[in-house]
Structure 1
Amino acid sequence: MIEVNAKLLKGPVYLSGETIECSISFIHPKSLQHKVSQSNNDAFESLAWASAQIHCQCTTDGKVSKLKPDGDSMAFSDTALPVNTQDAGLQEIATKPKILFCDLRLSPGQAKTYIYREKIPNDAPPSYRGQLVKYSYKITIGTQRVNSPIKLLKVPIRVLPVNIGMDVGGLCNETSDELSPANPFLEVREKEKEIETPFDLALQALQNITARRNPNFYMISNTWGKVARFCLFKPAYKLGEDIIGTFDFTVATVKCVQVSVSLQCEEETTIEDKTKQTRIITFSKHHEVCLGLQHTQLILPIPLHLTPAFETKLVSLKWRLHFEFVTSTSPKLDGPKLEDSDWKAPAELPIETMVWSLPIRLFSTSPEQVAQGLQANNSYRLAIR
């Protein structure tokens, strides 16, 4: 028996364009059957070859028209690894396979370790599990004994988009300081100049974009008058952050009975034909009864398993805050009765519901933070008997 162990050295989460490092070990464990009387040739285990490559599979809903993959993405799909026959959907990306070894012989207790490095294409779609389209990534490690079927070890990984566009250059030229609170009691020391990789610059740009507090105020009104004044402290967020806002009801001319805010994504196919589909998916939700309140706040967490906004030739993903205001113009809610300690709500109350959606920008965060928050697995094992 031979064990194949794969361990992701940088964790299971990566940014698009980043280089993956995977340690792949081939181990021939000792067993009680290996006796001294056996010859050395009988004790050896051998493998003919082993290779590794990255695959991205795209699966779609039955109502969505499937695009044919680009020529570049399928250039290296005809390999010895039969992934197309085992996985559902279309192969979106397949990197060029790298041969780890040919004709490997292992004695009992011996192990061989290889480091597989591969760069994720810059234009690769992110990992995404939507209702219309799904993108899933894995490192496929294939090996074969002579005159035996191919064995595959699939190591799933997650790819996050670097969706900062043209903001990188502008932010890097505008400021080189981190937008973090400074301690005036600490001695200021000059930082040693380090060689910054493109991903260090990308993460710094993401930090700068999402750290800028630019409060925006919105007056919420319906046909009867003003409902509330909403303040959103910043329009851009990273995965794992909290969306914080405030409601001011002192300016209202219409009583707001309750308010709910949901974090939603709008998934829409980008194919211009009759089968164009749109799905709205709700995640975190904040609900509060606000009758009689002058001020209240909104705290809405952004889960780490979400996918930031992106767009491909097949689908686009956008994020928004969806508001639902329940208002009433009933005279039963007027007067000083609301301030009375023994005030009771009316048995019947005519209400109206008003909905409003506010687009927000959702970006990636550090891959290490996502991996730690989700406690993803780094190691995988395959036994070849």
Structure 2
Amino acid sequence: MSKHKIRIGISHGDINGIGYEVIMKTLMDTRILEMCTPVVYGSPKVAAYHRKALNLNNFNFNNIQNANEADPRRANIINCIDDNIRVELGKSSGIAGEASYMALERAVNDLKAGEIDALVTAPINKDNIQSDKFNFPGHTEFLAQQFETDNYLMLMVSEMMKIGVVTTHIPLSEVSAGITKKAILSKLRIISSSLEQDFSIKKPRIAVLGLNPHAGDGGLLGSEEKEIIMPAIEQAKNEGILALGPYPSDGFFGSGDYVKFDAILAMYHDQGLTPFKLASFDKGVNYTAGLPFIRTSPAHGTAFDIAGEDKASPDSLRQALYLAIDIHKSRELYKEISKNPLKKFEINPNQVDETIDLQSNDGPEI
């Protein structure tokens, strides 16, 4: 297993939001540097503006030109934008959108080149970033296109639950058409694989939610459950995936049944993200499963309304950083076991991070 301290890129997001606030508050904890070498893709000038606005006098970035120059004992930053850029706290602007894209582009290029091991993305504004270079609903779809993959999943992660969605950033009127057996199967395969490789969960249990109220009520309130969702679940079981359902989402979350599962597959964005954010808004993480690299992001947005007011909690970005580190370690462990299956009996669970769950549903299995 690789022993080197991983290098994590952090794209600065929208310069007029809370991105720099949560990044700097996270990196002020020097214990972070014991786990990874952070490289922020952004602007030293913009960082200085936010540092002054927030009175964070006890923090400074190490300015570098390239990721391979990163000092493992410092929080590093690479300038990706024009120094003449203007910060307008709390405002959405085309300039801010362009700055978001330029930092993201540089980080992705370094990711492709192997200069960084994982990427954490601070929040962007999905409207002002739109251009001829970025014509996507968000980070997830852009990154999938950059790495030429159609098999990916937005997986929301917290200590309480992991929730993926079949359809993501589409109008509610188009959700039913997007619910197909093929789409559900694809997401179930990704979740199952990710839970094993990225989270070290053996034989994961996955709950599948219904689309309609009361999961269709036997066809009375909709036919998608009987005609699409249930056949997809049966096919998944035939492939060795432990998928169960479909469950009515209101009763499923209201009764607390979600704690019995390793992950949940919701049919559409708000069905999954509403209960997730209700339970884990400050500490939730958005993870893009299925990509050939690790990408995490805080579960919140740009929060223009509190930008520069020292009110933003860094917890979600901190957890995104921790999760990227843990997934990297879990993937390394999975690769090692795959090469030598007998190696798993030599692993000391006390040497594995507490955030990585090595428990199966049948009891401990190392």
- Choose 1 or 2 for highest CA Rg: 1
Higher strand proportion: 1
Fold match (TM-score > 0.5)? no
TM-score by length of 2: 0.26
Larger relative contact order (CA 8 Å, sep ≥ 6) = 2
Higher helix proportion: 2
TM-score by length of 1: 0.25
